[in-house]
Amino acid sequence: MAKIDPSIFKAYDIRGIYPDEINEKAAYLIAKALVKILKAKSIVLARDMRPSSEPLYRAVLRSLKEEGIKIYDVGLATTPMYMYVINFEKADGGIIVTASHNPAKYNGLRLEGKMAASIGEGSGMEEIKEILLYKTQPRNLRSRPFEIIKKDYLKKYVDFLAKKFLPEDFYGLTIAVDAGNGMTGMILPEIFKKLQINYLPLYFGLDGTFPHHDADPSRPENLRDLGDFVIEREADVGIAFDGDGDRVGFVDEAGEPIDMDYISSILAEWTLKKQPGEKILYDLSSSKIVRETIGQNGGKAIICRTGHSFFRKLIREESAYFGCEKSGHCMLKEFFYVEAAILTALHVMKIINQSGKKISDLLAPFKKYFSVFTPIDFKNRDKFGALIEKIEKEYLDAKLSHLDGLTAEYPDWWFNVRLSNTEPIIRLRVEADTPELLKKKQREILKKLQD
């Protein structure tokens, strides 16, 4: 039995430090396990620009060839482009070699089924883990007859996105864009050229060592360069993407990071004016303003557990119009119910341009509440259940939920405390009607968590 580090199996994908935790042998065997559980006859294969992605990609390709299946070889791609190809080719599933927003020393595999349905916790990941950790691994096989298909998928993907807009949707708008040396740096110039968008590029060169900053737009420190760039070049808005291009972040015309709750709110308001009554998903960590905006505009707000695999499963089941996580994953019905970072950015740009307002003025009506996110180191996951039980007893008069961790809601404040699915931390989110109440309740809950 091959030794595979069990820590690489995450809630959403397979990820670890290369080559100590994730390596070519693991990638080779994971590909075989995926083909087995999907009974796949066709798989889409892609990779990002990390130095370790090419050897892992070759290992997966060798494994798939041995399985004697049809392989759609995409090569370099963003995760959304790869998922577009799964749907375009009606493949049985897919594998992309990427560690998304993680630093350069990490790598991993994202796995999808038909229609790019996520394979994660509760949707196949446990089965793959069991095959790889507890069952006899298949011997190396001689390659059976296989088929490799290569096309200009980049052009097809760009055409698919661009046909949803007109150049006049963006006339007069100047945007600054930080590709973070990630995969969107390959795609954005083609889309912007086709739509005649005036853009100012920052860190567009593909470089999986991430020489300027981590490609994670959910962290404000990674938006500083973009914020300064927006101010220096007097852009109308700044847009940033993560390493594999499935997450998006924004800064306003003053270079200030924009909370994704406000992006969700303006998208919801705009959507429901055109599509009244639509269902829209929101993150359980999202501000109250998101569900209030959806309700006030005649939509149906549906709460979802944090995590892109959970979002993608629920948005498809509910046939919801869109859903955005606070981390910047936005799934759209018009994009196969999966992450569509570039498409989301284009919609936001169009809204700004058509409004004739500054982005900060568009967001102002949604800034009603005050919130804080606090990460807390927590390495012993087995003790989390007991900790939650203890805290819950202190808030029995609240509206309680156990969708993920513990949420307690009062008329003028609420909190959620949950285990991270990707890091050894507890994530605490507190929101209140006033900054004074927020500060008081944050201190109160932190004390209970650390006692």
- Is residue 134 included in any domain, yes or no? yes
The pLDDT assigned to 145 comes to 82
- Is residue 421 included in any domain, yes or no? yes
- Is residue 406 included in any domain, yes or no? yes
Residues 216 and 308 in one domain: no
Residues 298 and 395 in one domain: no
Of the residues 89, 120, 155, the one at which a domain ends: 155
- Is residue 296 included in any domain, yes or no? yes
Residues 136 and 47 in one domain: yes
The CATH number of residue 151's host domain is: 3.40.120.10
Beta bridge partners of 345: none
Which domain range does residue 193 map to? 172-258
Q: What predicted TM-score, i.e. pTM, was given to this entire model?
A: 0.94
CA 47 – CA 26 distance, rounded (Å): 16
CA 243 – CA 182 distance, rounded (Å): 4
Query: Which has the closest alpha carbon to 26: 2, 53, 57, 43?
Result: 2
Contact 11, 30 (CB under 8 A): no
Burial class of residue 149 (count of CB atoms within 10 Å of its CB; 0-12, 13-18, 19+): middle
Burial class of residue 71 (count of CB atoms within 10 Å of its CB; 0-12, 13-18, 19+): buried
Residues 400 and 435 in one domain: yes
Residues 48 and 97 in one domain: yes
CA 53 – CA 51 distance, rounded (Å): 6
Task: Tell me, yes or no, if 371 is annotated catalytic.
Answer: no
The pLDDT assigned to 142 comes to 58
Residues 293 and 333 in one domain: yes
Catalytic-labelled residue, pool 52, 53, 100, 218: 100
Handedness of CA 280, 120, 50, 283 (dihedral sign): positive
Residues 228 and 286 in one domain: no
- Is residue 166 included in any domain, yes or no? no
Backbone angles phi, psi at 46, to 5 degrees: -150, 170
- Is residue 64 included in any domain, yes or no? yes
| Tokens at 418, concatenated | 């949950």
Residues 118 and 16 in one domain: yes
- Is residue 162 included in any domain, yes or no? no
Of the residues 227, 258, 289, the one at which a domain ends: 258
Of the residues 258, 277, 310, the one at which a domain ends: 258
Residues 269 and 180 in one domain: no
Would you write out the chain's pLDDT as a tens digit for each of its 451 residues?
A: 457 999 899 877 899 999 999 999 999 999 999 999 999 999 999 999 999 999 999 999 999 999 999 999 999 999 999 999 999 999 999 999 999 999 999 999 999 999 999 898 878 899 999 988 887 655 555 567 899 999 999 999 999 999 999 999 999 999 999 999 999 999 999 999 999 999 999 999 999 999 999 999 999 999 999 999 999 999 999 999 999 999 999 999 999 999 999 999 999 999 999 999 999 999 999 999 999 999 999 999 999 998 888 899 899 999 999 999 999 999 999 999 999 999 999 999 999 999 999 999 999 999 999 999 998 888 787 888 899 999 999 999 999 999 999 999 999 999 999 988 767 889 999 999 999 999 999 999 999 888 6
Number of domains in the chain: 4
Residues 287 and 194 in one domain: no
The CATH number of residue 405's host domain is: 3.30.310.50
Residues 113 and 20 in one domain: yes
Contact 89, 166 (CB under 8 A): no
CA 251 – CA 353 distance, rounded (Å): 16
The pLDDT assigned to 379 comes to 77
- Is residue 127 included in any domain, yes or no? yes
CA 32 – CA 416 distance, rounded (Å): 39
Residues 212 and 346 in one domain: no
